[in-house]
Structure 1
Amino acid sequence: MMMFPSIKAFLRKCWRFYHGDNGQTHKVKDLLNEDILIRTLFDSEHYNRELDVLDNNAIPTSDLKERGLSLDIKRLASELVVLQRVNVQKGKAQDKHGLDDLTRKDVYFSEAEHPNISTIIDDGDGQVLFVTKYAPVDGNDAHAMLTCIKNKEKRAYYVMARNKLKPVFSQCITPAQDYRFTNK
């Protein structure tokens, strides 16, 4: 019967309307200036819960120089994907240090607004210090990488960069069990 595709299309349109997208996709697959970026933190490795401070390990200087600091774009992030990655990272710590390892026991998420990162200035030359790039990886469309714009400097430069970045990621740290992945 020819009517079935019409009913199917109608039901699909109703589904989209019910979920608030009216047939349009609002999840642009790229980094937008107004995006919120998420950094996964582990208590005792990246974050000292008792003192409420980020450790230097939360933002490795090698990541800022070369590899890139891994972040998730909140608007695109899937709670399931992020928590699966957390479990893999916990498992790696246990494989390395034993089953009773507490290094990655408690998980936190830190948020930073992209404009607060993209406007950090290098006091030495007055130029923007960081670049954040949309960098999806297999199974994670929300992945982004943050590096310093300059990548051939001495270690002291990247320590300075980390010291400028730490306060931005320290402003909003939430335990994983209390974190909301939606922007609503």
Structure 2
Amino acid sequence: MTRATPYWISLALFLGTGVILYLMGRDLICPCGYVELWAGDAPPEQSSQHIADWYTPSHLLHGLLFYAALWLVAPRMPISWRFAIAMLVECGWELVENSAWVIERYRSVTVSFDYNGDSIVNALADIVAMVVGFALARVIPVWASVALVIGFELLTAYLIRDGLVLNVVMLLWPLDAILQWQQAG
């Protein structure tokens, strides 16, 4: 194996995720027929169908958090292999997130009653957001990573009444109090 091997593995994971999503029947782009760079005010049926949206920051946070977790559990592992592990987890999440079971779970226990899953373009952009977060975590101080996590969570909670933590809670342990708060927005 060469030093580049983990990066080739990461590229294969990225491309393979796109192929698997296609084989799962995911749309390449928004069924509306066009792609927007930013879809912050898109109608609900176009949620997660364009390149970036209000959930993109949560994927950037994945990168920050994966970097921190892998630094804690495997500090001597080469960064290239930690990156490949982060890619494996993120790509795996994109496949699980777009499975029929998770899409139906979002529809039944969150405010996302009309959630249709991600387009392939959105899912791959989410993975790129994780890569950006991972790369940022390598070069910014720990306090800045913590500030980004807290800042993005507060920003998305304020603007869309959702975020990484709320999304995980509502997916795994739905709480009526959170659902009612989200519906009030």
What TM-score, normalized to structure 2? 0.31
Which structure has greater strand proportion? 1
Which structure has greater helix proportion? 2
Structure number with bigger Rg: 1
What TM-score, normalized to structure 1? 0.31
